[in-house]
A and B are shown apart, each in its own frame.
Chain A
Amino acid sequence: MTATMHQPTRKRAASTTRMLKALAFLAPAAIMILIFVFYPVIRTVLLGFQSFKLYDQSNIGYNGLENFRKLLEDPNFSRILTNTFLWVFVSVFFQFTIGFSLALLLKKKFKIIGLYQGLIFIPWALSGFLMGLVWKWIFDESFGVLNDALLKLGLIDSRIPWLSDARWAMAAVIIANIWYGVTFFVIMILAALQGVPKEMLEAAELDGANRFQTLFSVIIPYIRATLILIVLLRIMWITNFPDLIFGMTQGQPAGRTHILSSWLIEKLTLDADWGAASAVGLMIMVILFVFTLFYLMATRLEKDSGV
């Protein structure tokens, strides 16, 4: 009798101690995250609805949707949205396609594969801002190596004003971004490919499938969930990656190469208008959130996506 009455209490006590122990291990990380990740989100939401100019701190106070209204009325706003869209989707499309192709080529080992991978993975480790400066130098109209090489090869007759003409400038920053981000896809897709069971590939070969059929009906379906997830992560990451643009054009000429996140940086630093900067930040969050919902619905992401 006593034993049966004791059992549940003891069980509950054991589970409570276990929870307390786990929480003790988790506490330091959790506290840091609450202070440095979640608190700033709340503060940004508040700032987005405040007039908060760093150099005019006497006029800080709630101003409703004023920040958002001003952003929407900015003559560059629709261009910035279009740029953001191009920046994200053109970059991701090429990064993915090139990354996938390279991963397929690197799947089979060859002699110097270690060295080769080490070298082509280098961009991943470099600062986006510094590489933006490097690309600015390459794209320089008068002294840049790109115009010089194109002229010498006879591909153009006159120097292209890469960074001073808004249309070329957007193309230039996207090319640099493709350069920067292919590495991530190669690494991820290579890992996913190595997870495809050998037996499946052998079975496909026995069934007489050629390489294309194996790719599209065995490999891609097998790693589909992973692909969907890394593309989503990358879209979110690139949306919030102003470093390269900051190094290359700083939004010039005339604010026409800004994307939302580089615009945020400009509001934050040059204009010191933190209400506006936070409002841009909130826009980015909302856009990404809505996009993620649609993306997940459209791709019906399976639960076991390998997270």
Chain B
Amino acid sequence: MMLTALGKGGKFTVLGIWFFFTIFPIYWMALTSIKPKREVNDLYYFPNEGATLESYRILFRDYAFGIFLRNSLIVSLVASFIVIGLGLLGAYALARYEFSGKPQVMLGFLTTQMIPGLISLAPLYLLMQKLGLINSLIGLTLCYVGGMVPFATMMLRGFIQRIPPELDEAALIDGCNRFTALFRVVTPVALPGIAATFIFSFVQCWNELFLAMILIDSEGSKTFPVAMRSFIGGYWIEWGGLSAAVMVGIIPTVIIFGLMSKFMISGLSAGIVKG
């Protein structure tokens, strides 16, 4: 409003500048990734006829980036599905039941949002060591589920609360129990909210670096960010390969986000968010 006082021209200038600032780093990485190897350090701003996908080929031929991507995909998808399952159950109880101790339970869920995830790194390593789940994608998935569940539960609760309770009451009269009412009646109606929560969880897991870095050390179990970390080891960085790798790493989240940004925007603001 303050800025619309500038008039239409001013408004679109500001939006244009911000657009440029936002997109440029990604554009620059994309451009670097298709420059021929000997031109990587040359500062030109538009692709020329030498543009090549060589850097991408090297990534998958000389390094096991296919495996890293697969690992990341498995962990993020499985963790997010479990998170949605557990989150829906918990959210349903918090949205539909009145019981003594409920305020305390709610407070417990909210408190988790105040706890920095970083302090869990060492304890989770020690825990996974005891369970024999170091270097295991199962261990990593479990940790991600634990980290994402509180937030997902609160977010899903917000969506379920917006659905009129008469809907599941009708289902109960029609012979559903609470459990089947949740999955047959409430879930389909809450689907946009569930999609938003799922994407949020997927993006968080996909991008998570430090826990994966600590828990996973063996080449075959590395997730994408961990592989990137070892890829840049040492002082010398090969920017051609690196920029291609960055592009490969961000494409999945960009595609998912692009497809679902409408859900995301309403979803994120519905359950005030951590990330």
Q: Of A28, A133, A242, which is within 8 A of B90 by CB?
A: A28
The residues of B that contact A44 with a CB separation of less than 8 Å are: 119-120, 122-123
User: Which residue of chain A lies nearest to B94 when distances are taken between CB atoms in the complex?
Assistant: A26
Interface status of A131 (Cβ within 8 A of chain B): yes
Interface status of B210 (Cβ within 8 A of chain A): yes
In the complex, chain B residues 204-223 whose Cβ is within 8 Å of any chain A Cβ = 206-207, 209-210, 213-214
Q: Of A188, A214, A278, which is within 8 A of B269 by CB?
A: A188
Q: Of B116, B207, B214, B256, which is within 8 A of A261 by CB?
A: B116
Q: Of A23, A47, A105, A269, which is within 8 A of B123 by CB?
A: A47
A105→B146 contact, CB < 8 A: no
State the Cβ distance, B135 to closest chain A Cβ, in Å: 15
A134→B265 contact, CB < 8 A: no
User: Which residue of chain B lies nearest to A104 when distances are taken between CB atoms in the complex?
Assistant: B1
Q: Of B32, B41, B120, B242, which is within 8 A of A37 by CB?
A: B120
Q: Of A21, A122, A278, which is within 8 A of B26 by CB?
A: A122
A114–B239 alpha-carbon span in the complex (Å): 33
B28→A29 contact, CB < 8 A: no
The residues of B that contact A143 with a CB separation of less than 8 Å are: 41, 43, 239
B146→A41 contact, CB < 8 A: no
Interface status of B132 (Cβ within 8 A of chain A): no
The residues of B that contact A23 with a CB separation of less than 8 Å are: 93, 99
Interface size (B, Cβ < 8 Å)?
97
The interface stretch among B2-10, B49-57, B62-70, B163-171 is B2-10
B19→A119 contact, CB < 8 A: yes
Interface status of B75 (Cβ within 8 A of chain A): no
- B177-204 CB mask vs A (1 if < 8 Å, else 0) is 0100000000000000000000000010
A23–B100 alpha-carbon span in the complex (Å): 11
Known A-B contacts A25-B93, A36-B145, A138-B28; the reply to A285 vs B116 at CB < 8 A is yes
A26–B87 alpha-carbon span in the complex (Å): 9
A166–B109 alpha-carbon span in the complex (Å): 40
Interface status of A174 (Cβ within 8 A of chain B): no
The residues of A that contact B225 with a CB separation of less than 8 Å are: 127, 129-130
A32→B146 contact, CB < 8 A: yes
State the Cβ distance, B46 to closest chain A Cβ, in Å: 12
A41→B149 contact, CB < 8 A: no
A126→B29 contact, CB < 8 A: no
A127→B114 contact, CB < 8 A: no
Interface size (A, Cβ < 8 Å)?
98
The residues of B that contact A28 with a CB separation of less than 8 Å are: 85-86, 89-90
The residues of B that contact A190 with a CB separation of less than 8 Å are: 265, 269
Q: Of A33, A135, A191, A212, which is within 8 A of B146 by CB?
A: A33
State the Cβ distance, B193 to closest chain A Cβ, in Å: 14
The residues of B that contact A40 with a CB separation of less than 8 Å are: 119-120, 123-124, 127
A91–B184 alpha-carbon span in the complex (Å): 45
User: Which residue of chain A lies nearest to B158 when distances are taken between CB atoms in the complex?
Assistant: A307
A274–B118 alpha-carbon span in the complex (Å): 12
- A226-267 CB mask vs B (1 if < 8 Å, else 0) is 000110010011011011001000000000000001001100
Interface status of A123 (Cβ within 8 A of chain B): yes
State the Cβ distance, B92 to closest chain A Cβ, in Å: 6
Interface status of A30 (Cβ within 8 A of chain B): yes
Interface status of B172 (Cβ within 8 A of chain A): no
A25–B43 alpha-carbon span in the complex (Å): 58
Known A-B contacts A18-B99, A39-B127, A138-B25; the reply to A130 vs B250 at CB < 8 A is yes
A118→B258 contact, CB < 8 A: yes
A294–B109 alpha-carbon span in the complex (Å): 22
Q: Of A22, A120, A233, which is within 8 A of B272 by CB?
A: A233
A33–B90 alpha-carbon span in the complex (Å): 12
Known A-B contacts A29-B90, A261-B116, A261-B118; the reply to A179 vs B22 at CB < 8 A is yes
A102→B119 contact, CB < 8 A: no
A127→B18 contact, CB < 8 A: no
Interface status of B15 (Cβ within 8 A of chain A): yes
State the Cβ distance, A217 to closest chain B Cβ, in Å: 12
State the Cβ distance, B112 to closest chain A Cβ, in Å: 5
- Between A and B, 13 residue pairs with Cβ closer than 8 Å are A33-B112, A36-B120, A36-B146, A41-B119, A44-B123, A105-B11, A120-B23, A124-B257, A130-B207, A131-B25, A233-B113, A239-B116, A277-B121
Known: A19-B101, A211-B1. 11 other contacts (CB 8 A): A28-B86, A30-B108, A36-B146, A40-B119, A41-B123, A104-B2, A105-B11, A107-B1, A137-B29, A145-B28, A212-B1
Q: Which A positions have Cβ atoms within 8 angstroms of B?
A: 15, 18-19, 21-23, 25-26, 28-30, 32-33, 35-41, 43-44, 47, 52, 98, 101-102, 104-108, 114, 116-131, 133-135, 137-138, 142-143, 145, 148, 179, 182, 184, 187-188, 190-192, 211-212, 214-215, 219, 229-230, 233, 236-237, 239-240, 242-243, 246, 261, 264-265, 268-269, 274, 277-278, 281-282, 284-285, 288-289, 292, 306-307
